[in-house]
Amino acid sequence: MLELSGVTRRFGGAWAVDGVSLHIPPGRITGLIGPNGAGKTTLFNLIAGSLRPTAGAIRFEGRDIAHAPPHRRAALGLGRTFQIPRPFAAMTVLENVLLAALHQRGERAFANWLAPRAVAAEERRNIVRAREIIDFLALGRLAAAPASVLSGGQRKLLELARVLMAEPRLVLLDEPAAGVNPTLLETIIERIRELHARGISFLIVEHNLDLVARLCGEVHVMAGGRLLASGPPEAVTRDARVIEAYLGGAA
């Protein structure tokens, strides 16, 4: 589904991501772990298109996307959330989700004046779908509230809702557990499972190893910008090199 080969990104003289090659198979929940500064978020930015690689290839469902702009990647079925979510604060929860719907005629300059009925019908269909997603993510009560009033955990759910509105096939989650209270975390885990059962694949960056162990079939470990180890979570967390990287990073 997602194929990285030799992906490299330099900032000045430093290699943030250094020759990472990995394969994310379809229909799986894959984990990406590693100490702080390992390059996980940079790798996410490269996959989602916020950054372009210095070298290497990124293929999504066979298509080379290494230099495609982020909005095209979103249209191809690639969604991402952020470690620290930043919704469109001035918009309502519903608007935040609606604007992610793909191929909206109403976003074209003339359609609103030339075909108002078609735009209105499309908007009604999108609102129905957006409300379903918002309800599914337990935000139904807040649909009309401005996104600025949401708690950190609710913002994570809102980001996921926005991503789902674009009907993604692969979702990149950047630390879904960070800063989320335990009750809401259970909701998030349960929803990820449910979406996975519906056929969406996930790549998750996470420090919470419990969440990784519960959700992910395979885990990749990064350290110092390189891929260190790959395998099932229980094997990887016992790997001597991985333990060394974490302890070394802490010391």
Residues that bind another protein (CB under 8 A): 48-50, 69-71, 74-75, 79-80, 86, 88-91, 95, 98-102, 104-109, 111-112, 119, 123, 162, 166
What size, in residues, is the chain? 251
Q: For residue 69, give the nearest of 51, 43, 85 by alpha carbon.
A: 51
> Which of the 8 DSSP states describes residue 1?
-
- How is residue 126 written in tokens? 């999108």
Q: Which is nearer to another protein, 95 or 239 (CB)?
A: 95
Select 128 or 240, whichever has its Cβ closest to another protein: 128
Contact 3, 58 (CB under 8 A): yes
Q: CB 121 → another protein: shortest distance, Å?
A: 12
Q: How far is the CB of 245 from another protein (least distance, A)?
A: 30
Q: Of 154 and 237, which CB lies nearer to another protein in the complex structure?
A: 154
Cβ nearer to another protein, comparing 39 with 87: 87
Instruction: Find the shortest distance in angstroms from Cβ 13 to another protein.
Output: 23
Which are the contacts of 62, defined by CB distance < 8 A and separation ≥ 6? none
In whole angstroms, what is the distance from residue 13 CA to residue 28 CA? Answer: 35
Residue 180: CB minimum distance to another protein, A: 20
Find the shortest distance in angstroms from Cβ 100 to another protein. 4
247 DSSP β-pair partners: none
Burial of 126 (0-12, 13-18, 19+ CB in 10 A): buried
Q: Which is nearer to another protein, 123 or 239 (CB)?
A: 123
